[in-house]
Amino acid sequence: MAPPFASSTILLCGGGTGGHVYPALAVAAALDDVKRTVSLGQAPVSLVYVGSEGGMEERIVARESQLPFRALPAAALRGRNPVALMRGLATMVAGTRMARRLLTSLQPRAILGTGGYVCVPLFLAARSKGVPTMIYLPDVVPGLAVKMLSRIATLTAVNVEDALPRLGLERNSARALVTGYPVRSELFGQDRPTCVSRFALDPALPIVLVYGGSRGARSINRAIAALLRALLERCQLIHVCGREGDEVWLKEAASALPQTLQARYRLYPYLEAKTDSTSEPSMTAAFGVADLSICRSGASTLAELPAAALPAVLVPYPYVHQDENADYLVERGAAVKVADAALLGSHQPEEGPLFAAVTRLLDNPLERQRMAEQSRALARPDAARHLAEAVLSLAARSGS
């Protein structure tokens, strides 16, 4: 039975890694616009972010939004170790109990989950309390948690239509919605010279953005280290290496190079999506400045690369269905793909597939231009708004 709604609160939930947090924040920003035109009764719509205890989302939400944050215990339920599994299960039971208390106190009208294990306890509690839920799948192939959540959610939204059959949903099902991936609006139509000045780079020499998703990618970092001199002889690099300590040996590798090449290298463990100051480097500005990207193919790349019309060499992380994300862009002419295991080949690093792909694209501005146009054609600038409207109408229905 639905609770008697005194409030007009909507919960946003997603966590574990950045890819589950940024889409929720993009929807929060769109909700700020949309909610002015939609009435949920007397009370103004308010948003609360629910994330996992100790996850990276608490820091991101505090830095990049004004949203109040509430934490729940959550853990992965996978692997073969029975002790770890039991511990994970106990955490989830505690999380669900705490989520029920949270729902009792906040009385939300609807919940949007953007993935990560923290959605599981919240959605289980929501089901038992009759709060409507919407789960969003950013990837082409769903993981276990999203599959399970899609079964209990009121609505399932997906980034691309190809994902629907993998969730057992039809295109015209009343429970399904294809929205695209919500990205921050600042990514579209950036001014390149302004972005270049944030990184203090030379606008006349091509700029390559290297990043490995929200946690970095060691194999990409190793490959860049092996190719550092050869790459810097041809382009400038913005390298976002992750916070796992790779910065130390990457700095060392760079310090062995001549000063002229060192001046072309910018290394960061992490770049905030946006910064308070308009002169500091940010991830958004990195997309605005790059001529080419070398990156993993996490779900965000399906939207952020098109939003920035940025051609890419994609290196899918082998264990989590990133190949299918990469294929989506490659088949549409927006990117090329290099296998993680084959980055450097078996002889000289400069003879391997990564260097071959990057130099071919650097030497061929026309091909880059064609890829950029094909990428741009895939952009869905309305995705955040679409999701915002869907969660608001779920909330409006639940109160009527």
Ligand X SMILES: CC(=O)N[C@H]1[C@@H](OP(=O)(O)OP(=O)(O)OC[C@H]2O[C@@H](n3ccc(=O)[nH]c3=O)[C@H](O)[C@@H]2O)O[C@H](CO)[C@@H](O)[C@@H]1O
Identity of the residue, 7 or 214, whose beta carbon is nearer to ligand X in the bound complex? 214
Residue 115 touching ligand X (CB under 6 A): yes
CB of 229 to ligand X, least distance (A): 24
CA triple 377-373-273, angle to 5 deg: 75
- Contact call for residue 322 and ligand X (CB under 6 A): yes
Q: One-letter amino acid identity for 138?
A: P
Q: Does 213 bind ligand X (CB under 6 A)?
A: yes
**18 annotated as ligand-binding:** yes
Amino acid at 12: L
C-alpha to C-alpha distance for 135 and 158, rounded to whole angstroms: 8
Question: Taking CB under 6 A as the rule, does residue 211 contact ligand X?
Answer: yes
Please say whether the beta carbons of 99 and 133 come within 8 A: no
- Specify the residue, 17 or 190, whose C-beta has the smaller distance to ligand X: 17
Strand, helix or coil at 314? strand
Q: Which residues contact 347 (CB under 8 A, 6 or more apart)?
A: none
Q: Which is nearer to ligand X, 65 or 300 (CB)?
A: 300
- Cα-Cα end-to-end distance for the chain: 13
Cα 234 to Cα 41, 139, 229, 282, 364: the distances in Å are 60, 34, 9, 24, 13
Length of the chain (residues): 400
Q: Within a 10 A sphere around the Cβ of 237, how many other Cβ atoms?
A: 24
Residue 131 contacts residue 111 (beta carbons within 8 Å): yes
Cβ closest to ligand X, residue 23 vs residue 349: 23
Beta strand 236-240 pairing with 335-337: unpaired
> Judged by CB under 6 A, which stretch of 117-125, 269-277, 336-344, 371-379 contacts ligand X?
269-277
CA triple 82-83-88, angle to 5 deg: 95
Residue 19 within binding range of ligand X, rule CB under 6 A: yes
How many contiguous H segments (helices) and E segments (strands) does the chain have?
15, 13
Is 185 marked as a binding-site residue? Answer: no
Q: Is 214 annotated as a binding residue?
A: yes
Q: Minimum CB separation from ligand X for residue 213, in Å?
A: 3
Instruction: Give the one residue of 41, 43, 263, 270 binding ligand X; rule: CB under 6 A.
Output: 270
Which of the stretches 4-12, 36-44, 103-111, 265-273 binds ligand X when contact is defined by CB under 6 A?
A: 265-273
Cα angle 6, 8, 12 (rounded to 5 degrees) comes to 130
Count the alpha carbons within 13 Å of 112 in the hemisphere toward its beta carbon: 33
Q: What is the DSSP letter of 4?
A: P
Distance in Å, CB of 293 to ligand X, minimum: 10
Minimum gap (Å) between residue 295 Cβ and ligand X: 8
Residue 304 is a binding residue for ligand X (CB under 6 A): yes
Residues 6+ apart with CB under 8 A from 189: none
**Residue 95 found at the interface with ligand X (CB under 6 A):** no
Identify the helix (H) or strand (E) that includes residue 112.
strand 110-113
Task: Write the interaction track for ligand X spanning residues 150-189; mark x where CB under 6 A is met and - where it is not.
Answer: ----------------------------------------
The nearer residue to ligand X, 34 or 183, going by C-beta atoms, is 183
In the sheet with 236-240, reading across from the earlier edge strand, the strands are: 265-268, 236-240, 207-211, 292-295, 312-314, 335-337
With contacts defined by CB under 6 A, name the span among 30-38, 165-173, 207-215, 338-346 that binds ligand X.
207-215
**355 lies in the binding site for ligand X (CB under 6 A):** no
Among 220, 273, 285, 372, which residue interacts with ligand X (rule: CB under 6 A)?
273
The nearer residue to ligand X, 95 or 216, going by C-beta atoms, is 216
**Binding residue (CB under 6 A) for ligand X from 196, 227, 271, 314:** 271
Q: Does 298 bind ligand X (CB under 6 A)?
A: yes
CA-atom Rg of the chain in angstroms: 22
Residue 246 touches ligand X, criterion: CB under 6 A:
no
Q: How far is the CB of 385 from ligand X (least distance, A)?
A: 18
Q: Which residues bind ligand X (CB under 6 A)?
A: 17-20, 22, 115, 138-139, 211, 213-215, 240, 270-271, 273, 283, 296, 298-300, 304, 317, 320, 322
Q: Which residues are annotated as a binding site?
A: 17-19, 184, 214, 322
